[in-house]
Amino acid sequence: MERGTDIQKAAAILRDGGLVAFPTETVYGLGANGLNPVAVARIFEVKKRPAFDPLILHVGSPEQAAELFLYPEDRRIKALTERFWPGPLTIVAHKKSFVPDIVTSGMPTVAVRMPSHFIALQLIRAAGVPVAAPSANLFGRLSPTLPHHVQKQLTGVDYLIDGGKTQIGVESTIISLTGETATLLRPGFITLEQIREVIPVEMANSSDAEDQPLAPGLLKSHYSPEKPLTVFESLEQDPGPHAGVIFLSPASSPGSLKAHIIHLSASGDLVEAAAHLFTALHDMENNPEVDEIYIQQVEEKGIGIAIMDRVRKAAYRHME
């Protein structure tokens, strides 16, 4: 795939039905013209993504989002977009009929987000269309936070915009406004508590997400490295020199391990830890001396909830 920084070229590729990988503030996305079903179908093909898993449409303004929603006058939409857009919040609401079914997996709802990353916004506005964009990785694999993560996993992409490392490092918070009560479908950088300052919201029941997810990232197994990943609270013994261990901070790791060690944050800051989560997992996956990966669980508060959501879905076992 061609890699560069030419946003106008990338926008022209999108308009012509091509695929462009680009940075957002969360992770790298794999974009196509969201109103072109043939172009969107290429996303599913390149990612090896099942057709039942819907995509997010990325827009350049709240006004562009309003064109996609069936009931744009919903006061909750205005309240959320005024507070959190542009930013890492995806809104799921009923869609207008012209939104292609392939984007929504045949459902009457659509997921929409206005990213805050300047490259993403410039690209969407230059393309002049909503951009359908899941994470730029193979389905179920680690999310990409650097350009070479995209290049390692994907082929068939027409252009990769190099924007360096993403800032937030975990995917957007997703909230559904399809019912009388708003529901949080996927935790992210914007927390449940922050949303409750704006509108009433409850946690969604994920029991039927395996049958028909309402939004991306809701399947029970996701975000996985190629090597087995174990979640632990504390390590009782050294896993050995062929293990990679990811700790929250130096303060939480013993100094005598023979394993390969990465710290997510020097100070134990959860926002910093989230930004480095997928990068650390990629580094362990790419290390030829590491056969298995261990990761320390973090406190489930604030963005720690999003971190543990990703870690649990990526892990194959949990140590008590």
Each residue of 56-80: pLDDT tens digit? 999 999 999 999 999 999 999 999 9
pLDDT bin (cut points 50, 70, 90) of residue 150 is: very high
* CATH 3.90.870.10 boundaries in the chain: 2-203
- Whether 209 shows a pLDDT value over 60: the answer reads no
Mean pLDDT, the chain, rounded, equals 94
**Is 57 in contact with 110 (CB distance < 8 Å)?**
yes
% of the chain residues with pLDDT over 70:
96
What are the DSSP calls for 94-138, one per residue? EB-TTS-HHHHTT-SEEEEE----HHHHHHHHHHTS-EE--BSSS
Q: Which helix (H) or strand (E) holds 310?
A: helix 304-314
ω into 241 cis (within 30 of 0): no
Q: Which CATH number is correct for 2-203, 3.10.20.30, 3.90.870.10, 1.10.10.10, 1.20.140.10?
A: 3.90.870.10
Q: What is the pTM of this model?
A: 0.94
Nearest by Cα to 11 from 60, 68, 63, 55? 60
What's the confidence (pLDDT) of residue 208?
A: 47
* CATH 3.40.50.11030 boundaries in the chain: 229-318
What span, in angstroms and rounded, lies between the C-alpha atoms of 184 and 75?
A: 17
What span, in angstroms and rounded, lies between the C-alpha atoms of 275 and 178?
A: 30
pLDDT bin (cut points 50, 70, 90) of residue 43 is: very high
- Whether 106 shows a pLDDT value over 70: the answer reads yes
Residues 245-266: what's their mean pLDDT?
A: 92
The verdict on domain 229-318 having CATH code 1.10.287.130 is no
Nearest by Cα to 253 from 212, 300, 308, 294? 294
Residues 176-204: what's their mean pLDDT?
A: 95
pLDDT bin (cut points 50, 70, 90) of residue 256 is: confident
Strands 89-94, 109-113: parallel, antiparallel or unpaired by DSSP?
Answer: antiparallel
- Whether 29 shows a pLDDT value over 80: the answer reads yes
How far separated are the first and last CA of the chain, in Å rounded? 43
Nearest by Cα to 158 from 22, 57, 21, 44? 21
pLDDT bin (cut points 50, 70, 90) of residue 135 is: very high
